[in-house]
Structure 1
């Protein structure tokens, strides 16, 4: 990380030290894992819709 260069002017990239010392908060919202390997985009979309309905967060679909 410390050897990266940005192609965006005036942006300060984080150092490795700043990343590992950062305080992180746990993720508390619903999570969905969708394995798309070997599936068509349409199959993946259908599976995602089914998972959203199962999690009762269908408003995101």
Structure 2
């Protein structure tokens, strides 16, 4: 019998994952085609990403 391991990272990691997923879905995904086609990223998103700790 093997020991039970809990690989969950906890509520904090879950919250970070959910927040970044929501941000990318709402703010980045709508621009994805342009980002890829023009090799461009909207400068105005950097402060918002920084506020989320994504720097």
Report the structure number with the largest CA radius of gyration: 1
TM-score, normalised with respect to structure 2 = 0.33
Q: Which has the higher contact order (CA 8 A, sep 6+)?
A: 2
Higher helix share: 2
